[in-house]
Structures are given as C-alpha cells and as structure tokens.
Amino acid sequence: MTAAPRHPRAETPPDRPGAPGRPGHPGRTRHTPLYGPGLDGDGLPALYERLRAEHGPVAPVALAPGVRAWLVMGYEELLRVARREQDFSHDPRHWRLLRDGRVPADSPLLAFVGWRPALMFADGRRHRRMRSAVADSLGRVDGGELGHLVRDTADRLIDAFAGRREADLVPHYAHRLPARVVTRLLGADELVSRKLAEAVAGTAAANADSVHAGHRLERVLLALVREKRRAPGPDVTSWLLTHPASLREEEVLHNLVVTVVAAHQTTKNWIATTLRLLLTDPALRSSLDGGHLTLDEALDLVLWRFPPTQNLPGRYALRDVRLGRQEVRSGDMLVLGLAAAGRDPRVLPACGRPVTGNRAHVAFGAGPHACPAQPQARLIARTAVEVLLRRLPGLRLAVPEERLAWASSPWTRSLAALPVRLAH
C-alpha cells in the first residue's frame, strides 16, 4: 500500500452573506476540491472514505475554484438521484452556476457538462427518443463479428511488441484496442481512429486543453457523419442516420461524441485495471487460472472495487430536497460518485469485499441513463484480457506496484502506464 497523496485544502468560502452548505453560495461549509494534481487513481479511494466519515453519503465538493457541487457517495442515495428524473435533471441548463455565468467559458468542466443535443443531457421523451436510436444502432452490431474484430485487433497489437523484453500495456494495448475497435464500428478508417483516440484522451484529461480537444473530436466526427450521409454502410454511424427516430445531423454528431468518449475511456480503463489486478494479486490470478473464478467474475470485481469511471457529472436538482444529511437546493449540481458508492459499507458484506458474480454495481450508472453499450463494452474488455493472457502467459510487472503512475483526473481511474516484462 502506498501513502495517499496530499489533496488540496478544502475551500473556505469568502465571508459574505449566503446559505451555508449550499453549493455555489458562500457559507461556512468547507468544500473539498475534486481538482488539482494531487487527485489520481491511487489516492482517490482514501479521499472518499474521509469524505464519507466527515459528511455521510453526500459530501460538499468543489469541481474548480468557486464551482461547488455535491458528491453522492451512498449507494442508495446514488440510485435515488439516478432514477428520479422528476427531481434530478440531466440537462445542465438547470445548473444555477452556469445560468448565473459563474462557470468560465474556457473551463475544462464544460467538456463534460456543457449542454449538447445528446441523450446524456436530456430527460423524459427527448432522452428516450435519442436513447432508442443509440441503443438500437449498437444492438445491430453482431456479437460474433465484434468478437472476431477484437481478437484480430488484439493479435495485431500484441504482435507489435511480443518480441520485446518490455512493453507498456496502457499506450501499446489498452488505449489502442478500444480506439481501433470503436472506430471500426463507426465505419471509419485507422487514420480517423488515431485522431479520435488523441482527441478523446485530451478531453478526458480535465485540463486547459480539454475544451479544444472536444472541438477537435467534434470536427473529426462531423466529417465522418457527412461522409456516411453520402455513402452509408453497415456501421453504427449509418444506422444512427437512418434510424426511425429521425435524428438531426447535429443530434447524430453529439450522440457519437458521447458514445466515443464513454466507450473509449471506460473500456481502456477497464482493460488496464483488470490486467493490473491480475499482475499484482496472486490469489486472484490463481483463482482465474484454476477455474475457480471466471474472467467475467474478475471483470465484475473490478467494476465494484475500481470502476473505470470514478465520478460522473452531473445531475441538477429541480427542487429543494434532503439527500443524505444535506439540504440540496434547486439548481445545485450533483456528481454521481460511482466508485465511492461501490465501496459503501451499507451494501457490502461484513468483510468489505463484493460477492463474486454480483452485478448490482453502479459502474455503468443506473436508471433511465444506464449505459446502453454495456454488452459491447464487456465483450471488448473480456476478449482483450483473454487474448493477452493466452498470448503472453509469463507477463509480470516491470516496476514495483507502488511505483505505478496514475493519470490525474477526478473523473476516471486511469493508469498512466502499466510497464511489463515479457517471458521469452
């Protein structure tokens, strides 16, 4: 175990009149920053437990200087927020701070929470219309063909480094594989795949370039949408364009943006984290090799303990509600603490470890907005891990576990590198 890195000190609001404990308003409540270089995948779990001990299942946090929100860490509280669209909207235009002009136009947050005409930012009938188009288009992907595509892509990537003594499984494998597979599903070529992967990584970095990276991503996908309008094919982009829901070009574009970012980042982190656990947890690897644990069960343990998406913004209160021990006001933002909810001691066995085979985790969200691409993501992750273990059975870490580097992000649990030695 490594010591948790230091986190920025909690914000002390300026001494002005306001409602104590109300995000976006001054008061005496201390809002713990969810930003800054000290926040990485190694230290975040300890931060969640400190916040839970101090505030209960819902904690006041700051997403940027002066930008406050509630982090929902309780399992039941998270389900309530995710399921009750009548109380908690997905549309950021309900966010008081945004309406009041208190979020800078160049804020990295807007790459995640800026409104788009996409399913992730809609409620009710509008959401159901766009979700049906996305879910139906993804559902047309043949599972056998997808498995073959993943195996072929995995073999090609492994061939590129199998003859070396060392390799880094994040950039050389976990990052490239979902980028190439998802791009193929969209009907794009390898050049577009590289451009998309670069733009998605920039968007997820949550830094000053995030907004520009988001614009680059949109330009690449808009060119793809217009190409498929002229020459459709058997791919997700073409199926979205011709779906009975009759999405406008703008809606197709932005639903592709959401799909690409979610699919690439989530699957990349799921693959990398599963490989890390199998390389660092001898008991887990032994259970898998001995047939006492299936690979799907190992993947589920990862989703409980180390979900690829740590925190998912945002929901916006449509009325004043009491949640946990907090008074949430209309217009407040809430962040779904997916990782913290998976560690909620109220839903775990006494040993603190999830039950093998239990898929009641919230790693893919919950309620009407649960991820519609879960079957495809699982197939990609399972096949990627399976092929690597079969091709390179003697893999071992090239550095001590405590020296593994994590990307700095409040949103995803993302390894920056996973260096390994190959047996020859």
| CA 271/CA 320 separation, integer angstroms | 40
DSSP letters, 251-303, are HHHHHHHHHHHHHHHHHHHHHHHHHHHHHH-HHHHHHHHTTSS-HHHHHHHHH
Q: How far apart are CA 26 and CA 288, in angstroms?
A: 52
pLDDT digits (tens, 9 = 90+) for 56-94: 999 999 998 889 999 999 999 999 999 999 999 999 999
- How far apart, in Å, do the first and last CA atoms of the chain sit? 30
**Tell me, what's the pLDDT at 23?**
47
Please give the average per-residue pLDDT across 407-417, as a whole number. Answer: 85
Question: In this predicted structure, what is the pLDDT of residue 199?
Answer: 77
Mean pLDDT of the chain: 88
pLDDT at 7: 36
Asked whether residue 18 carries a pLDDT value surpassing 60, the answer given is: no
Q: Which two tokens stand for residue 361?
A: 């985790």
Whether 396 has a pLDDT exceeding 90, the answer reads yes
**Element holding 314 (H helix, E strand):** strand 312-317
- Looking at 84-88, 198-202, 231-235, 258-262, which range is the least confident one? 198-202
Write the DSSP string, 58-90: EEEEEEETTEEEEEE--HHHHHHHHH-TTTEES
Mean pLDDT, residues 39-62: 90
Sequence-ordered list of residues with C-beta below 8 angstroms from that of 105, at least 6 positions apart, any chain: none
User: Comparing 163 with 198, which gets the higher pLDDT?
Assistant: 163
Residue 36 pLDDT: 80
Domains and CATH numbers, the chain: 32-421 (1.10.630.10)
pLDDT tens across 329-358, in order? 999 999 999 999 999 999 988 777 777 778
Question: In terms of Cα–Cα distance, which of 273, 274, 113 is closest to 206?
Answer: 113
Flag whether pLDDT at 402 surpasses 70. yes
Going by C-beta distance under 8 Å and a sequence separation of 6 or more, which residues neighbour residue 382?
A: 295, 296, 299
What CA–CA distance (Å, rounded) separates 202 from 194? 12
Among residues 95, 108, 121, 126, which one has the least CA distance to residue 23?
95
The answer to whether residue 306 scores a pLDDT higher than 80 is yes
Contact status, residue 211 vs residue 108, Cβ threshold 8 Å: yes
Give the HSE-up count for residue 269: Cα atoms under 13 Å, Cβ half-sphere: 26
Cis peptide before 352 (omega within 30 of 0): no
- The answer on pLDDT for 12 being more than 80 is no
pLDDT(122) > 90? yes
359 C-beta neighbours (distance < 10 Å), count = 14
Higher pLDDT, 157 or 264: 157
> Minimal CA–CA distance to 311: which of 339, 333, 332?
339
More confident residue, 23 or 83: 83
| Mean pLDDT of the 191-211 span | 70
Cβ(252)–Cβ(225) under 8 Å? yes
